[in-house]
Structure 1
Amino acid sequence: MTTQIQQAQVLHDLHVKGNPLVLVNIWDAGSAAVIEHTGAKVIATGSWSVATAHGYEDGQAFPFTDVIENLKQIKQKVQLPITIDIEGGYGHTPEQVFQSVQMIIEAGAVGINIEDQIIGEQRLYSVEEQCARIAAARQAADQLGIPLFINARTDIFLQADPLSSASVQKEHADHALTRAKAYARAGANGFFVPGLSDPTCIQMLCTHSPLPINIMLTTDTPSVSELSAWGVSRISYGPSPYQQVMNTLQQIGQDALMS
């Protein structure tokens, strides 16, 4: 049986520049089993999908005890490495992040997403604050002896005006690169930039970031083949799989009632 340490190493090894790990994000044990059967290499949750599927809003409204229980159910259903979106770490302080991450690892995960947005506010933690939180996550993993893959997410581009000028976009990209370098020093393993779709900025980050770059697919994002060619190491589908499944379910219900 593959150990948790081995699964963590598999997750690390799958982040290859130009040959990205593609993640179709799931929300519960049933959706995880479906994705495993497609030949996926890793199971990854998305916080929005998980929260919505369980009747909650995104933004850590889904109770952390339920996050853990959902993870345990997924773990019982699949054999693949599991990476969990824990939003802001379910705590502001490094100490709270430390506790959350230890519980996530003990429940079976080998990777996390942790964001630098302050939950409930339209601003980010300072670089120093977020580095302390990432370092706490790394310390929690080290104490348990698991080489956890910490995917450090920045919300710079999600909070930015999508119609901003090229010069402003470059400023955002430069800011992101500063954070990528700092997060790497703090113990992160990947850098997640949801909301980024500008080809020049993506290529710049892939070239200069010390961490593998993770892009989330949207209607505005370049194609998987283009992202691969530019050096992206991880591509996430985010909430779109859940949305598409629910749209299909809605159509089935409407068709059934009209028949």
Structure 2
Amino acid sequence: MNTKDKAHQLLHLHEQRAILQVVNVWDVASARVVADLPGTTALATASHSIAATFGYDDGENIPVELMLDMCGRIASATDLPVSADLEAGYGDPGETVRRAIGVGIVGANLEDQMKPLIESVENVAEVTKAAEKEEVGFVLNARTDAFIRAGDRPLDDVISDAIERGRAYLDAGAACIFVPGLLSEQTVIRLVEGIGEHRVSVINVPGSLTPARLEQLGVARISYGPWTQRVALTALQASARELLTGGHLPEGTQPLN
């Protein structure tokens, strides 16, 4: 598929009743391993994981050129649509998305970092304009940090902020609203009611609702952020510990193609 077709396919995956699960990847090897699995329909990068691969802390500390280069390598390694975690846009969301499209990316997360709503809406609109100029139906998964920056604010206020921002980002051209955090079932219900069915995207962390339950509640998409890299590194550390104490590689270890 070409870039336009991949973008169309990614949007379709968000809109269908079955929930979209994207297992986050951080390099070509991890992308190929996940892409080869039955049931994988799209991939998403994890900014934290890519930054860590190159020795940078998360939070736009990695040079944007290095981040986009890895995203492009991942997109080139698979025929599946790839959505990229572009943090807050590296100072110029529209230009960053334009460059991302140029390396084969057809969707992205964009953080609002709880900046003033008008500024955040303008950033979403800039991404939409950039994608239109590239003539690609880019799938923007606009992220609100209402929960992860909530502090000790009342839950009702946090949910109201997430809904207000989510609706505003949809109006500005976003396809889906990403609300990261450890969310209770009742909170997910309220978010879906307030933002819309098949318009809410969540991250699953230890203790999160199951994918089956989230699908029943009308959530559009689940991602896993840096947790997939942590799983891989935990397994690596456990294997290294076994080897260094006289053990063997785990049975069933598969060769990489």
Task: Report if TM-score (shorter chain) is over 0.5.
Answer: yes
CA apart distance, 1:222: 1.3
CA apart distance, 1:18: 4.7
Tell me the alpha carbon deviations over residues 21-72 of structure 1, each in whole angstroms, 9 at most, x when there is no partner. Answer: 0011000111000010013110100111111122111001111111121122
The one-letter code matched in structure 2 to 1:205 is L
Gaps of 5+ in 2: 247-257
Partner of 1:121: none
Structure 2 residue corresponding to 1:242, chosen from 229, 232, 236: 229
Are 1:140 and 2:130 matched, yes or no? yes
Q: CA RMSD in A?
A: 1.4
The number of equivalent residue pairs is: 244
Q: Which runs of 4+ in 1 moved over 6 A?
A: none
Residues 17 and 171 of structure 1, relative CA distance in 2, 3 Å threshold: farther
Matched-pair contact (CA < 8 Å) for 1:170–1:201: no
TM-score, normalised with respect to structure 1: 0.91
Helix, strand or coil: the match of 1:158? coil
CA apart distance, 1:142: 0.3
Query: Matched residues, percent identical?
Result: 31
Distance between the aligned counterparts of 1:44 and 1:158, measured in 2? Answer: 20
Partner of 1:229: 216
Deviates more, 1:142-151 or 1:222-231: 222-231
Matched-pair contact (CA < 8 Å) for 2:98–2:131: yes
Partner of 1:85: 85
Partner of 2:243: 256
Partner of 2:157: 171
Distance between the aligned counterparts of 1:184 and 1:227, measured in 2? Answer: 21
Partner of 1:116: 112
Matched-pair contact (CA < 8 Å) for 2:88–2:110: yes
The one-letter code matched in structure 1 to 2:218 is G
Matched-pair contact (CA < 8 Å) for 1:46–1:84: yes
Tell me the alpha carbon deviations over residues 127-175 of structure 1, each in whole angstroms, 9 at most, x when there is no partner. Answer: 10000011000000000100000000011111124xx68xx21221111
Equivalences for residues 37-52 of structure 1 within 5 A: 37-39=36-38, 40-52=40-52
Partner of 2:65: 65
CA apart distance, 1:85: 0.3
Matched-pair contact (CA < 8 Å) for 2:76–2:104: no
CA apart distance, 1:228: 1.0
Structure 2 residue corresponding to 1:150, chosen from 135, 140, 145: 140
Tell me the alpha carbon deviations over residues 184-242 of structure 1, each in whole angstroms, 9 at most, x when there is no partner. Answer: 11111110000141211211111231471111001231111111111111011111110
Partner of 2:5: 6
